[in-house]
């Protein structure tokens, strides 16, 4: 999602430089081959405190005027809660929630009127989802944090947008689903393309919306989550995926 956002931001805005952050340096370096804009690579693990100290030093040194901050790091696990290690759970919570807040806090001093903060939440943030519970809960945090922050930063003319996509064709599934193991989620309904979600998000960003939703199925599902009791929504989800909470998935 970050790669596609960089592509579309480059086409939409005339920026002097794009800063890209992720753990794998080689993946970041490859962006230089597809982007015309100058790219500054920062290979950082956002679950580590030291990474934000490095970023803070780089920002203080260059003092950029940040037009758009995009937080799209994160991952989930489609599995029974008890099958996940404490380390996996902690890393997921740190990356999906704490890293988003720390990134905003670190970059905010360099943002100005008409700057934008874009945080990736998820349609899963609208309800409790069994077998995706940590991820869904973390995205509920991002959604509510972003919408509230949007109000608090209006006095500075800074806009905050939460993107809440449905299933997207990305590397998410490579990490979420264990190889050589029977999948927990067997039906996805619809899998959208990243380019379409990002295109809609940029449009919503420019319209100063606080939430971006793409796709008819996504919008219908979120509406259902809002009007139906969560107990019923959970039952529908469990039945749709042929899941039985009385038996542990191994």
Residue 73 lies inside a defined structural domain of this protein:
yes
Coil, helix or strand at residue 79: coil
Residue 58 lies in a domain: no
Report yes or no on 124 lying in a domain. yes
* DSSP one-letter string for 218-241: HHHHHHHHHHS-HHHHHHHHHHHT
Given a cut of 80, is residue 170 above it in pLDDT? no
> DSSP per residue over 170-205, as a string?
STHHHHHS-TTS--S----S--B-HHHHHHHHHHHH
192 φ, ψ to 5°?
Answer: -90, 165
User: Which residues lie across from 22 on neighbouring strands?
Assistant: 43
Report the C-alpha gap between 69 and 66 in whole angstroms. Answer: 7
Q: Is 243 helix (H, G, I), strand (E, B) or coil?
A: coil
What is the reported pLDDT for 211?
98
Average pLDDT over the chain, rounded to an integer: 92
Percent of residues, the chain, with pLDDT higher than 70: 96
Q: What is the pLDDT of residue 250?
A: 63
20 in a structural domain? no
pLDDT band at 180 (very low <50, low <70, confident <90, very high): low
Tens-digit pLDDT profile for residues 205-250 = 999 999 999 999 999 999 999 999 999 999 999 998 888 877 776 6
Domain range enclosing 88: 67-240
Domain CATH number, residue 174: 3.40.50.720
Q: Are 42 and 29 in contact (CB under 8 A)?
A: no
In a domain, 21, yes or no: no
Instruction: Judge whether 177 lies within some domain.
Output: yes
Phi-psi region of 208 (alpha: psi -120 to 50; beta: other; left: phi over 0): left
- As for how many domains the chain has, the answer is 1
Q: How many Cα neighbours within 13 Å face the side chain of 33?
A: 5
DSSP 168: B
* Per-residue confidence band for 1, with pLDDT thresholds at 50, 70 and 90: confident
Report if residue 139 sits inside a domain: yes
Instruction: Please say if the pLDDT value at position 177 is more than 80.
Output: no
67: left (phi over 0), alpha (psi -120 to 50) or beta: alpha
Domain-embedded: residue 6: no
């Amino acid at each position: 999602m970050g790669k596609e956002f960089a592509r579309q931001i480059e086409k939409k805005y005339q920026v002097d430089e794009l800063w890209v952050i992720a753990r794998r340096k080689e993946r970041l370096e490859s962006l230089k081959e597809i982007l015309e804009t100058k790219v500054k690579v920062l290979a950082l693990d956002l679950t580590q405190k030291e990474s934000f100290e490095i970023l803070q030093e780089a920002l203080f040194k260059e003092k950029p005027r940040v037009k758009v901050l995009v937080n799209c790091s994160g991952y989930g696990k489609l599995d029974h809660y008890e099958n996940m290690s404490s380390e996996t759970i902690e890393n997921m919570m740190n990356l999906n929630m704490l890293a988003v807040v720390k990134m905003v806090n670190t970059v905010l001093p360099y943002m100005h009127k008409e700057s934008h903060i874009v945080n990736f939440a998820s349609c899963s943030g609208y309800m409790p989802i069994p077998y995706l519970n940590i991820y869904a809960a973390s995205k509920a945090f991002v959604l509510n944090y972003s919408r509230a922050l949007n109000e608090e930063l209006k006095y500075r003319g800074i806009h905050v947008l939460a993107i809440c996509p449905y299933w997207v064709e990305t590397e998410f599934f490579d990490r979420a689903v264990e190889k050589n193991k029977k999948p927990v989620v067997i039906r996805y309904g619809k899998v959208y393309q990243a380019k379409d979600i990002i295109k809609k998000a940029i449009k919503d960003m420019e319209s100063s919306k606080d939430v971006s939703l793409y796709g008819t199925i996504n919008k219908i599902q979120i509406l259902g989550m809002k009007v139906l009791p969560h107990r019923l929504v959970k039952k529908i989800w469990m039945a749709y995926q042929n899941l039985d909470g009385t038996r542990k998935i191994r």
